Amino acid sequence: MNDRLARSDVREYVEAAAKAFDPGTLTLGFARRVATYKRLDLLTRNPDWTLPLLSGERPVQVVLAGKAHPRDEEAKRTVQRLFGLKTASVIAQRVVYLDDYDLATAARLVQGCDVWVNLPRPPLEASGTSGMKAAINGALQLSVLDGWWAEAYTGDNGWALPGDPDPDHEAQDERDSETFHRLVGDEIVPSFYDRAPDGLPAAWIARIRASLRSIAPRFCAARMLREYLDGPYRRPA
């Protein structure tokens, strides 16, 4: 709420998310530096898809965090376009944008999001450590097959967009936007909301277990240290 008040937003808009955000609603998280190649705009470039997704019978809520570099004009325009949608009441209720992204914010977000979204334009992703942290906290990945996710994705531990580079960025972004929409609408939302008689989402839980088994042992500091100690820093016998 403080973030919205600091932007001089009206109180009704400020209070909307506090009243409507629901721990039982599917929560997507997108938090990182808002560089152009990170493609935050894939979330919002088609309002005719985004707005019904947020307000449907199986709603989605979104937590965004980050800021653009002062010299990245296109990234700043991306954030401005995002805020241009806030006049829709469902945006106020279902989307929260945090102005910054630091270690404290990250720790809260990776614990609270159901799906960690990462949409970099390949092959520009250096690593993707926030996704590793989210996975170890039980979040599922929806990411491009670039950086760490190209190594970690197994088919049943999250969802993936193609990682093939394309010099035609506009065509690539359009294809990836369509793939993103399909994965969210046809796979992620049903998997989260389809419940067994006991009220649990069996398919979702199975994917979380597959994620923890395949990611936690491989993408952690303990494995890194073990390999260092067994390799280049091994003490002579």
Find, among 36, 31, 35, the residue nearest to 170 by Cα.
Answer: 36
CATH number for the segment(s) 2-230: 3.40.50.2000
Domain boundaries, the chain: 2-230
Q: Go through the chain and tell me how many residues it has.
A: 237
Q: For residue 84, what are the contacts with CB-CB under 8 A and spacing of at least 6?
A: none
Dist. CA 152–CA 146, nearest whole Å? 10
Dist. CA 215–CA 221, nearest whole Å? 12
Other beta carbons within 10 Å of 204: 19
Give the strands of the sheet with 158-161, arranged side by side: 95-98, 60-65, 26-31, 115-118, 140-144, 158-161
Write the DSSP string, 136-189.
HTTPEEEEESSTTHHHH--SSSEEEE-----S-HHHHHHHHHHHHHHIIIIIIH
Local structure of 60: helix, strand or coil = strand
Whole-model pTM: value is 0.88
Tens of pLDDT, residue by residue, the chain (237 residues): 566 666 666 677 667 767 778 889 999 999 877 888 889 888 888 889 999 999 889 999 999 888 777 788 887 787 777 777 777 778 888 888 887 778 888 888 999 999 999 999 999 888 888 899 999 999 999 999 999 999 999 999 999 999 999 999 999 999 999 999 999 999 999 999 999 999 999 999 999 999 999 999 999 889 888 988 888 888 887
